[in-house]
Amino acid sequence: MAGFKQPDFIERQLAAAKARKAALEKFRAKVADPGLAERLTERTARAAERGAIKTTRGIERAENKAREAERAQQAKRDAAIEAERAKAESAEREQALQAEQKAARDARYAARKSRSKKRR
């Protein structure tokens, strides 16, 4: 029974050269294909279209982001105005309450004073 025979150096070189030649022929066949140029132009056209769509989407995103930022700033301004209005109303209520308390205190003082004058 014969054992496995290792290919010698020359056989390996020939096999490698044959493989290179086959790869080169395969490449030349692809280049010679008449539909290749058409496919390449279609591919570049699709790539350009995708690029245009991507640019358009980027612009839309930037515009949306700017609109959202403007809305956020407007909401912040509205909140600040509302807080200022609430603060002013609170101050007015506090002032009215203090005036009412002072009037009640003055009325109690006047009543106490009048009672003490009646006793004399």
Q: What are phi and psi of 18, to 5 degrees?
A: -65, -40
Please report which confidence band the pLDDT of residue 120 belongs to, taking 50, 70 and 90 as the band edges.
Answer: low
pLDDT tens track for 53-104: 999 999 999 999 999 999 999 999 999 999 999 999 999 999 999 999 999 9
Q: CA dihedral in degrees (11, 16, 18, 23; nearest 10)?
A: 170
The answer, as to whether pTM is greater than 0.75, is no
Residue with tokens 């496919």: 39
pLDDT tens track for 34-44: 788 888 899 99
Contact status, residue 70 vs residue 76, Cβ threshold 8 Å? no
Interacting residues of 52 by C-beta distance below 8 A, sequence separation 6+: none
CA distance 89 to 39: 73
CA distance 92 to 7: 104
